[in-house]
Amino acid sequence: MIKYSEFLEVFDKQLGIYLQEHKKYIFCKKGCAACCEKGDYPLSQIELEYLMLGYSKLDNSIKKILQKNFSIIQRGGVCPFLVNNECSVYDYRPIICRVHGLAYLNNQGKVVVPYCVNEGKNYTGVYKDNEFFINPIGQNLSTQFVLRDFNFGEIRNLYDWIAL
């Protein structure tokens, strides 16, 4: 886990640069949790282990809330780690959550846009009808690509990891 957490420190610094470069197109802010209210949240085994490390460090009162959330989790629904519109394990969140909000190129050269672009949030005014009018981030930020140097294990959506 130490190698992974060191990797995340470097990765988060790079994401900070990307966020700075695109700040005029990104409207994410604390308390906006639209991206956490509907999704499958795919994450790898190493990300799940790291996420659960964060969970283990939480106060018992938050753990009780999360345990209730785990018991009612639905595929495609609210992330069970969301409490009062905030991520309870923010420092331990998976790659998909770290990169959400950014538009980037995948390996096929296609622009991947955040979910909220369709809700008039991030990249509003520079994305319309599947056409992107600025240069997206040139790095593929998909989980498989970002973690390519790790033995990251299987990727499943959060529901499938928790429902086991």
pTM beyond cutoff 0.85 = yes
How large a percentage of the chain has pLDDT more than 70? 99
Residues 76-131 pLDDT 10s: 899 999 999 999 999 999 999 999 999 999 989 899 999 888 888 899 889 988 88
Q: Which two tokens mark 12?
A: 């988060």
Q: Which amino acid is at 15?
A: L
Confidence of residue 164 (pLDDT cuts 50, 70, 90): low
Question: What's the CA gap between 58 and 35, in Å, rounded?
Answer: 22
The answer for residues whose C-beta is within 8 angstroms of residue 98's C-beta and 6 or more apart is 8, 11, 12, 15
Residue (of 50, 72, 66, 41) closest to 5 by Cα position = 50
Structurally, how many domains does the chain consist of?
Answer: 1
Q: Which domain holds residue 34?
A: 2-162
**Helix 45-56 vs helix 2-21: angle between axes, to the nearest 10 degrees?**
100
In the predicted structure, residue 1 carries a pLDDT above the cut 90: no
Convert the pLDDT of each residue in 131-146 to its tens digit: 889 999 999 999 999 9
